[in-house]
Structure 1
Amino acid sequence: MGQHVKAGELEIWTEQVGEGPDVLLVGGLGDTVESWQFQLDGLADRYRITAFDNRGAGRTAMPEGQPTVEAMADDAAAVLRSLGVSSAHVAGFSGGSIIAQELALRHPYAVRSLVLQSTWSAMDDFMKTMIRAFHWQAELAPSERDFLEGFFIWVYTARAHNDGTVDRFIEDAMAFPHKQSTEDFLAFADACARNVTAGRLDGIQVPVLVLAGGADRMSRPELGKAVADEIPGARFEVMEEEAHQPFQEIPDPWNVRVDEFWQEAERLRSGIPSS
Structure 2
Amino acid sequence: MGRYVQAGDLDIWTEQVGEGPDVLLIGGLGDTVESWQFQLDGLANRYRMTAFDNRGAGRTSMPEGQPTVAAMADDAAAVLRGLSVSPAHVAGFSGGSIIAQELTLRHPELVRSLVLQSTWPAMDEYMKTLCRSIRWQATLAPDERAFLEFFFLLVYTPRAHNSGMVSQIIDDALAFPYQQSTGDFLKFLDAFVVHETASRLGQIKAPTLVLAGGVDPMSRPELGEAVARRIPGAQFEVMPEESHQPFQEIPEVWNARVDEFWRQLIG
Range into which the TM-score falls when normalised by the shorter chain: over 0.9
Give distance in 2, aligned partners of 1:139 and 1:196: 25
TM-score normalised according to structure 1 size: 0.96
For 1:272, the equivalent position in structure 2 comes to none
CA offset digits 1:92-129 (Å, max 9, x no partner): 00000000000000000000000000000100011101
Give distance in 2, aligned partners of 1:262 and 1:187: 33
Report the Cα offset of residue 8 of structure 1. 1.6
State yes or no: 1:167 paired with 2:167: yes
Where do 1:34-183 residues align within 5 Å? Answer: 34-183=34-183
Give distance in 1, aligned partners of 2:27 and 2:137: 21
Report the Cα offset of residue 61 of structure 1. 0.3
Report the Cα offset of residue 199 of structure 1. 1.2
For 1:270, the equivalent position in structure 2 comes to none
SS of the aligned residue for 1:227 comes to helix
Residue correspondences, number: 267
Give distance in 1, aligned partners of 2:3 and 2:108: 26
Over the aligned positions, Cα root-mean-square deviation in angstroms equals: 0.5
For 1:264, the equivalent position in structure 2 comes to 264
Where do 1:190-229 residues align within 5 Å? Answer: 190-229=190-229
What residue ranges of structure 1 are gaps of 5+ in the alignment? Answer: 268-275
SS of the aligned residue for 1:105 comes to helix
Report the Cα offset of residue 134 of structure 1. 1.3
What residue ranges of structure 2 are gaps of 5+ in the alignment? Answer: none
Alignment-mate amino acid for residue 2 of structure 1: G
Report the Cα offset of residue 262 of structure 1. 0.6
SS of the aligned residue for 1:252 comes to helix
Report the Cα offset of residue 206 of structure 1. 1.0
SS of the aligned residue for 1:237 comes to strand
Report the Cα offset of residue 3 of structure 1. 1.0
Report the Cα offset of residue 233 of structure 1. 0.2
Aligned-pair identity in percent equals: 74
TM-score normalised according to structure 2 size: 0.99
SS of the aligned residue for 1:112 comes to strand
Give distance in 2, aligned partners of 1:37 and 1:205: 29
For 1:271, the equivalent position in structure 2 comes to none
Report the Cα offset of residue 197 of structure 1. 0.1
SS of the aligned residue for 1:71 comes to helix
Give distance in 2, aligned partners of 1:76 and 1:9: 14
SS of the aligned residue for 1:209 comes to strand
SS of the aligned residue for 1:51 comes to strand
For 1:29, the equivalent position in structure 2 comes to 29
